[in-house]
Structure formats: structure tokens, C-alpha cells
Amino acid sequence: MSSNSKSKAQEHFKRNLSSRQQRFRAADLVAGVLNGDRNALSTALTLLESSLPEHRTIANEILTGILPHTGKSLRIGITGVPGVGKSTFIEAFAKEVFTHSNHKIAVLSVDPSSPLSKGSILGDKTRMNELSVHPRAFVRPSPSATQLGGVARNTRESILLCEAAGFDLILVETVGVGQSEVAVHGMTDFFLLLMLAGAGDQLQGIKRGIMELTDAMVITKADSGNEQAATRAKGEYASALHLFPERTGGWVPKVFVTSALQANGLSDVWEELKSFQHWAISSNYLHDLRAKQNIHGFHEYIGLLLNEQVQRNQRYQEVLKHYLSQLEENQLTPFAAAELFLSEMFKSN
Amino acid sequence: MSSNSKSKAQEHFKRNLSSRQQRFRAADLVAGVLNGDRNALSTALTLLESSLPEHRTIANEILTGILPHTGKSLRIGITGVPGVGKSTFIEAFAKEVFTHSNHKIAVLSVDPSSPLSKGSILGDKTRMNELSVHPRAFVRPSPSATQLGGVARNTRESILLCEAAGFDLILVETVGVGQSEVAVHGMTDFFLLLMLAGAGDQLQGIKRGIMELTDAMVITKADSGNEQAATRAKGEYASALHLFPERTGGWVPKVFVTSALQANGLSDVWEELKSFQHWAISSNYLHDLRAKQNIHGFHEYIGLLLNEQVQRNQRYQEVLKHYLSQLEENQLTPFAAAELFLSEMFKSN
């Protein structure tokens, strides 16, 4: 039996689970996840990422079951241009944390690019080899969803599953394609921007607006003769950050210089994260931030779902195309086009 | 007859215009606007800002009529913290432009704050006295809409009306409340950020992300002993801007030092705007930008209209409140809440 027909048979089997079986399976997986069982966690994540409605139904039941046991981690978003050394930093940083604490670390990725185009997933898998076999780590490569909205939703809910499984430090890495940094910023507590020393040209890859989302900047690869440039860059970024307006809640972002190779500066980053967590909880910042993120996510998903509805319906697609071309030819104002489009959509319901 | 009952009578009269009369009136106003008649322009703007559906109907007909005659201006967004001297700058800048060209300037404002709260509108009216009586200028104070979405929509369409009336330099000023800068950035070609010298504390009023939207920075009030601080600030901001990633299209923002009092530096700003316009047209940047803005506006308005629909309907309001409170109590994920809410909304249509 080829692996292809085997997986088809599996799908057929799964499709035909009765709703009683589904409920049983969901309860089973909830118990497994809450017990910290990695297989249960992996299965739950796979169901979450699946595009089959039957899988989503089970995933939704699992989510409802684990929700009361979520929220206790520190959620850290990590971004930086390709080549900045994200995976290397994450691996070295996790090792540092494991040495000084009992934390359990989960690493998730948001990568809206196709797995065929860049090979970044395979790259990550290779590079995080050491971390992924650590008993207190869980590394989940990016799902291959094509839509950022879908990826963002999956990742948001993956965070919850990892929390329920006992991971109390969640690192969400983004490769920085499209709007992925903004999406990751919207589902994490602390946003870490990794930077290379020798600014200027290197910076071109960081998109506008990202620096201002940053809770801390980390200059990587301060080794092998690169130390002076890193220290200089630290000064430059620190004064640039100084020019930015104050963060909501009053948190002041700092710049750190690190070397994953020599394990330098990583403990400073870890201390900073701990003091952030302490401050964020005691000042109620974390509570307010997450409530805001939930409500923002709710509104975002409404847009996403409406969008899906339009994309699945051929007539909607044609109507949309019509109004967009009228817009392009300056025959309608954006508002008039929106009004006409909506009246068409609601008419047919 | 009291003014109150008089205006009621007027409203009654307007409400009862037949659709033939409405069409006649719209055609009349289109002709007036295209002739550059200020009264026709003012009336059209008032109809646009009105919340009466009958007025909106006429306004929509006017917009359709003038649309082919729009798009030929340079649209400039202007922002800065209160006290930076926006009105003074605009007045001095307009005088500079009038001296060296035949341009006609319209000044619009986006102010989502209530007119009762701050008095900024009255302030603007007083301060721009000189400009507002200039034969080649048209100053329109901010409408008193309460919703930013509504204000943004009005302003976007007001720009079109002013263009049809022959104004080829449109300044859209924002007081910087809420998301108004982002809204103004989304409807203008060039975004100008006014700054005070002596940065640091002053900067606290500029919201995060605004600096990165900037096409040029203008340091104001470089006079009365403030000259050195202004020059120093110019250097600081120039290096800070240098750290930012490149703008879409490759435009490089510069920093200017001005004094409205002594009419210094204003011609440099004007030269910069002219060279931007030349570049933006010849590189097709302007065409692409406006197409993008129109499509973005279209999607934004769809959200706005759906939102209005929810707000007008008491049952929707209750359903929404229910799900938001479940979200807050962590009983639902944002996605599940969105799914349930939408199924309720579409059920009742």
C-alpha cells in the first residue's frame, strides 16, 4: 500500500467517525494534553491545522476543554531578517533557560510562505535538532497553510494547547513574510526583534513599523571579530529607540548584545523577560493586553470568515471583481462600492 | 419662529424633496462645483457630512457626477502634537505657495474628537482667519461626526469634491486623536510630520508607528532663540530616519527646519513637495498608491457598514455583548466566538 493510498484510507476512516466517537476522542485528547502527553499534543495540533471540517469539530471541542487551563505562560514573539540567526538564538537561549530554571519551552513558527518556495521549514527542523529532543522542549514546525489569517488562527490556538500541556514559555518565531510580524505581535506578550550588527543595508529587510512594536532588541552574532560593531549598533539602536514614543503601559525597550556561539548575553535577555513578566502581571498590563488581543482577534476572524464566504461563492467573486474594477477605473468611490457590494451579499442570504 | 423650529421646518422641506427634485439639485451642484463655485462646494460638503439618508442620496449622486474630474491634486496629510503649530505652519506655507505659483489650496481637517471636548475647531477657525478669506484658498473645519470611520469617509470624499472644484493642493490636517493619523495617511499622497525642537518629552505625544509613515519631517518654531535646538533636532531625526527601512517605492524622507514667524525654510518644503509629485507621477508610484488606497478603503468601509448594521440592531448588540463577555471570561476562543456570532447574524437575514 503506497503512503498516499494509506493516508487516503486514514482520512476516510476519520471522516466517518460518528459524533459520539468524535466526542470520545476529544475528551481523550483533552486528558492527554492536560497530562503533558506529547503524542496527544501533536495529534491535537494536527487536528487544529487540518482543513477537514470533521477535524475542526474535534479541535474545537478540545479547545473548549483545555481553555480553563490556559494563559499561564509567557508568550514571546521573535522576529528578524533571514540570516539573523533566529533558530540558533532560540536554541542557545532555551539551553540558558533550562540551566537556570525548571521552565518548559514550546517553539512555534508562523510562516505564511509556501513550504515549497523557501525551504525555511526544513531549515528550522535541521537547525533546532538539539532543542527538539530535549525533554522540556517542544518544537513544532510551521503548518503549511497558505493564508496568513489561517496560520495566525492556528498559531493562536496552538499556543493555548501548548499552555494546557504545561509549557510555560512559548516562543513564536516568524520568518517576517507579509504581515506575519504584526500577526505574531497580536498574539504574544513580548516582542523580541533580532538584529544584525552593521546596520544600514541589513536593516532594509526589517519592515516599517516593526521597530516600534519591539519590547526588546537583541543584536546577534557578537563574536568572531564582530564584537565592536555589535556594541556600536547597540548604542545606535538605543538612541533610536529613545526617540520613539512611550509604549502602552510604560514599558521601556532595551537593546541587548548576544552571541549564541559563546553563550554571551543570553542570561541578560532572560533576566529582562523575567522582569517584564513580573511587571506585566503586577501592573495588570498582561491581563489588559490579552483581553485586547482576544477582542481584536474576534473582529479579525469575523473579517476572515466573511472573506472566506466570498471566496467560496463564485457569484460573490464575480460581484467583487466587478466593483473592484469599477473602483480601479474611478467610476465609484470606495464607499459606494462597499455599499453596493454589501447589499448584493445580504440580498442573497 | 425660534431657530430650532425653523431648522425643523427646513429639514421637513428637505426630506420631502421628490427624487426628481433631488436629481435636479444634484446636477445643479455638480455644475456649480465643477465651475469652482464656493457656495456649491460648501453645500455639497454639507450634504456629504449630513446623517440624513436623503442628503446622502444627493451627495452620492454628486460624487458620481464629479468623479471623472478628480485626482489631479497633490494630497498632503499633516500631523503633529498639539502646540506644534499646525495652523500657523499651514497658513505660512500656503502664503509661500501663493507667492510662487498659481496653485489653489484647500485645507480639510480630520478631528474625531467631539467639538465640545477640546475646542480645536474654534481654535482652527480663529487661527486660519487670513487663509480662509484668500481667493485661492478654501478652509473647511472638521465635521462634528463622532465616529472616526465616518469622519475618514467624509474627508476622503471631501478631497474629491475639492479637487473637482479646481483645488490642486489639498492639505488634510489631523489633530492626532485615536487612529486619525493612520486614516489620513490612507487617503493622502504625502505625509508630513511636524515636530518641535527639544525632542524627548515633546515626542511622547506622537504615537508609535507615526514616524515610520512620514514622507518628510518639519521642525517648526525655529526662531526666537530656538534655532540651535532645531538644527540639533534635525540631525537627530535625520539619523533616526536613516535607521528606518526603505519606503515603498524608494522615497527617502528628509528633515526640514522652518519658522512660520520668519517665513524661513518654507520654500524648501515646497520644493520637496514638487519634486515628490514629479517623482511620484513619473514613477507610477502615485497611481499605484491611490489604487491601493481605494481598495483598502473599500474593505474598510465594508467593515464599517457591517459594524453600523450591528449597532443599529438591538438583538445583534445583545448577541455581540454575550460573546464578548464569554471571550473576556476565557470561555471561548476568539475564533469560536466569531464563528458563533456570524452564524447568528446570517441566520436572521
CATH of the domain at B53: 1.20.5
Check whether residue B145 and residue B62 sit in a common domain.
no
Query: Confidence class of residue B161 from pLDDT cuts 50, 70 and 90?
Result: very high
Query: Confidence class of residue A15 from pLDDT cuts 50, 70 and 90?
Result: low
Other CB atoms within 10 Å distance of the CB of residue A291: 14
> Which of B71, B207, B335 is closest, CB to CB, to A330?
B71
Q: Is A224 a member of any domain? A: yes
What pLDDT sits at residue A80?
86
Convert the pLDDT of each residue in B286-308 to its tens digit. 999 999 999 888 888 887 787 77
Domain hosting A317: range is 293-347
Report the chain B residue with the minimal C-alpha distance to residue A306: B342
Taking the C-alpha atoms of residue A166 and residue A103, their distance in angstroms, rounded to an integer, is 9
Query: Confidence class of residue B116 from pLDDT cuts 50, 70 and 90?
Result: very low
Cross-chain Cβ contact B306/A160 below 8 Å = no
> Which of B298, B331, B337 is closest, CB to CB, to A337?
B298
Lowest-confidence pick of A6-15, A141-150, A310-319 = A6-15
Taking the C-alpha atoms of residue A78 and residue A151, their distance in angstroms, rounded to an integer, is 16
Cross-chain Cβ contact A157/B335 below 8 Å = yes
Cross-chain Cβ contact A245/B297 below 8 Å = no
Q: What amino acid occupies position A263?
A: A
Q: Which residues in chain A are closer than 8 Å to B236, comparing Cβ atoms? A: 239, 243
Rg (CA), chain A: 22
- End-of-domain residue from the set B282, B313, B335: B282
> Which of A297, A301, A346 is closest, CB to CB, to B349?
A346
Which residues are within 8 A (CB) of A209 and not within 5 positions of it... i.e. 6 or more apart? A182, B209, B212
Check whether residue B170 and residue B259 sit in a common domain.
yes
- End-of-domain residue from the set B254, B282, B310: B282
Task: Please tell me the total count of domains within chain A.
Answer: 3
Order of strands across the sheet with B254-257? B137-140, B105-110, B169-174, B74-79, B190-196, B216-220, B254-257
Convert the pLDDT of each residue in A273-302 to its tens digit. 999 999 999 999 999 999 999 988 888 888
Check whether residue B234 and residue B301 sit in a common domain.
no
- Average pLDDT over all residues of chain A: 82
Check whether residue B36 and residue B133 sit in a common domain.
no
Check whether residue A56 and residue A201 sit in a common domain.
no
Query: Confidence class of residue B265 from pLDDT cuts 50, 70 and 90?
Result: very high
A168 half-sphere exposure, CB direction, 13 A CA radius: 11
- Average pLDDT over all residues of chain B: 82
Report the chain B residue with the minimal C-alpha distance to residue A243: B200
Give whichever of A30-44, A163-177, B44-58 has the largest mean pLDDT.
A30-44
Q: Is B150 a member of any domain? A: yes
What pLDDT sits at residue B121?
42
Q: Which residues in chain A are closer than 8 Å to B67, comparing Cβ atoms? A: 330-333
Kindly tell me the sign of the dihedral angle through the C-alpha atoms of A116, A119, A120, A126.
Answer: positive
Check whether residue B58 and residue B85 sit in a common domain.
no
Q: Is B288 a member of any domain? A: no
Cross-chain Cβ contact A327/B301 below 8 Å = no
Which residues are within 8 A (CB) of A58 and not within 5 positions of it... i.e. 6 or more apart? A22, A25, A26, A29, A47
Cross-chain Cβ contact B338/A298 below 8 Å = yes
What ipTM was predicted for this assembly? 0.74
What pLDDT sits at residue B124?
44
Assess contact for B190 and B77: CB atoms under 8 A: yes
Q: Is B287 a member of any domain? A: no
C-alpha cell at B254: 528628509
Which residues are within 8 A (CB) of B52 and not within 5 positions of it... i.e. 6 or more apart? B11, B14, B15
Query: Confidence class of residue A17 from pLDDT cuts 50, 70 and 90?
Result: low
Q: Is A241 a member of any domain? A: yes
Cα angle B346, A296, B114 (rounded to 5 degrees) comes to 95
Give whichever of B106-110, B151-155, B243-247 has the largest mean pLDDT.
B106-110
Q: Which residues in chain B are closer than 8 Å to A247, comparing Cβ atoms? A: 208
Check whether residue B252 and residue B266 sit in a common domain.
yes
Q: Which residues in chain B are closer than 8 Å to A335, comparing Cβ atoms? A: 153, 156-157, 297, 301
Q: What one-character DSSP code corresponds to residue A248?
A: G
Question: Average pLDDT for residues B213-231, to the nearest whole number?
Answer: 91
Report the chain B residue with the minimal C-alpha distance to residue A340: B302
Give whichever of A104-108, A231-235, B132-136 has the largest mean pLDDT.
A104-108
Taking the C-alpha atoms of residue A32 and residue A40, their distance in angstroms, rounded to an integer, is 5
Check whether residue B231 and residue B270 sit in a common domain.
yes
Check whether residue B99 and residue B234 sit in a common domain.
yes
Q: Which long-range contacts (CB under 8 A, 24 or more apart) does A156-160 make?
A: A156/A187, A156/A297, A156/B333, A156/B334, A156/B335, A157/A48, A157/A59, A157/A63, A157/B333, A157/B335, A158/A45, A158/A48, A158/A108, A159/A70, A159/A73, A159/A75, A159/A108, A159/A187, A160/A63, A160/A66, A160/A67, A160/A70, A160/B333
- End-of-domain residue from the set A282, A305, A324: A282
Q: Is A81 a member of any domain? A: yes
Kindly tell me the sign of the dihedral angle through the C-alpha atoms of B96, B99, B100, B105.
Answer: positive
Q: Is A288 a member of any domain? A: no
Taking the C-alpha atoms of residue B189 and residue A109, their distance in angstroms, rounded to an integer, is 36
Cα A39 from chain centre? 21
Residue B244 has pLDDT above 70, yes or no: no
Cross-chain Cβ contact B333/A305 below 8 Å = no
- Of residues B277, B251, B273, B266, the one with CA closest to residue B219: B266
Report the chain B residue with the minimal C-alpha distance to residue A308: B339
CB-defined contacts A:B, below 8 A: 160
Taking the C-alpha atoms of residue B107 and residue B159, their distance in angstroms, rounded to an integer, is 9
Q: What one-character DSSP code corresponds to residue A195?
A: E
Check whether residue A330 and residue A272 sit in a common domain.
no
Convert the pLDDT of each residue in A171-227 to its tens digit. 999 876 657 888 899 999 999 999 888 645 445 456 666 777 889 999 999 998 889
Residue B1 has pLDDT above 50, yes or no: no
Cross-chain Cβ contact B302/A342 below 8 Å = yes
Q: What amino acid occupies position B290?
A: R
Check whether residue A32 and residue A130 sit in a common domain.
no
A303: helix, coil or strand?
Answer: helix
Query: Confidence class of residue B200 from pLDDT cuts 50, 70 and 90?
Result: low
A108: helix, coil or strand?
Answer: strand
Check whether residue B22 and residue B138 sit in a common domain.
no
Q: Is B289 a member of any domain? A: no
- For residues B276-286, one letter each, b for 16 or more C-beta atoms within 10 angstroms of the residue's C-beta and e for the rest, the string is bbeebeeeebb
Q: Give Cα separations from A146 to A186, A302, B206 (angstroms).
A: 19, 19, 36
Q: Which residues in chain A are closer than 8 Å to B68, comparing Cβ atoms? A: 330
Specify the residue for cell string 530656538.
B226
Query: What's the CATH number where A112 sits?
Result: 3.40.50.300
What pLDDT sits at residue A116?
39
Taking the C-alpha atoms of residue A230 and residue A273, their distance in angstroms, rounded to an integer, is 21
Residue B89 has pLDDT above 60, yes or no: yes
